[in-house]
């Protein structure tokens, strides 16, 4: 059984192991809902904004002096990393499984260390102290990707939060931009991946009490 996973698929694993098992074993796919068009559009605008400063070999003023290193200068390499099919990957031959995903951006320090940088748009005017914890596993995996592909890492990554705080005439919105350093663990990233693979190779998990799809009682004959 060849298993190919991504950070977004591991999000589903953490949210509901049963829905994850059903989807990856091609038994039933959870409804995807309405595509987040505004989020996707804004993500592209942020990338364009960072790329403008990359061309000038500068950091955007919102993060200048608040992060280590400078933006990765190799635009062709970053273009590959930003697309999941050509992005970074980690493969475990022992369990015959592969993990692949895309980076938003990457910083490089003067001494040659690579640091994943991810953009996040958030609702509300204020950023909670623990806002980063919901993305911890994602940053662990990004660091794993870099390290396993031969790029030295420092055990940290950055989240850059964009919080809409005000609507103004002639301007769609004003945002607070907050970079936050997060310590990462390659071992935790590997463990999460291995646990997800192990679950897929076993029997279907029980329904998750907090999953609305499981609680609705999706009936798949003779699975339990």
- Tens of pLDDT, residue by residue over 145-200, are 999 999 999 999 999 988 766 666 655 667 788 899 999 999 999 999 999 999 99
Residue 222 domain-assigned (yes or no): no
Read off the CATH number of the domain in which 47 is found.
3.90.320
pLDDT value at residue 127: 60
Residue 224 domain-assigned (yes or no): no
Cα–Cα distance between 126 and 166 in angstroms, integer?
12
pLDDT value at residue 27: 78
pLDDT value at residue 222: 46
Residue 144 domain-assigned (yes or no): yes
Residue 220 domain-assigned (yes or no): no
pLDDT value at residue 217: 47
Q: How many domains does the chain have?
A: 1
Residue 223 domain-assigned (yes or no): no
b or e along 76-111 (b: 16 or more beta carbons within 10 Å of the residue's beta carbon)?
A: eebeebeeeeebbbbeeeeeebbbbbbbbbbbbeee
Task: Provide the domain limits for residue 18.
Answer: 3-215
* Cβ pair 92, 134 in contact under 8 A: no
* Total-model pTM: 0.88
Mean pLDDT, the chain, integer: 87
């Amino acid at each position: 059984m060849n298993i190919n996973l991504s950070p977004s698929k591991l999000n589903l694993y953490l949210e509901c192991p049963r829905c994850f098992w059903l989807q990856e074993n091609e038994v039933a796919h959870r409804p995807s809902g309405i595509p987040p068009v505004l989020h996707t559009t804004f993500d592209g605008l942020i990338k364009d904004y960072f790329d403008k400063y990359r061309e000038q070999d500068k950091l955007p003023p919102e993060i200048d002096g608040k992060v280590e290193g400078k933006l990765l200068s190799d635009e062709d390499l970053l273009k590959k990393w930003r697309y999941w099919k050509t992005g970074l990957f980690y493969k475990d031959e022992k369990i015959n499984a592969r993990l692949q995903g895309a980076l938003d951006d990457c910083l490089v320090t003067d001494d040659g260390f690579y640091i994943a940088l991810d953009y996040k748009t958030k609702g509300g005017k204020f950023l909670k102290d623990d806002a980063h914890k919901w993305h911890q596993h994602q940053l662990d995996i990004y660091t794993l990707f870099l390290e396993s592909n031969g790029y030295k890492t420092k055990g940290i990554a950055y989240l850059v939060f964009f919080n809409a705080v005000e609507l103004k005439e002639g301007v769609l919105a004003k945002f607070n931009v907050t970079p936050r350093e997060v310590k990462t663990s390659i071992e935790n990233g590997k463990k999460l991946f291995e646990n997800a693979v192990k679950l897929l190779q076993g029997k279907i998990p029980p329904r998750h009490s907090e999953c609305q799809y499981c609680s609705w009682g999706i009936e798949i004959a003779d699975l339990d």
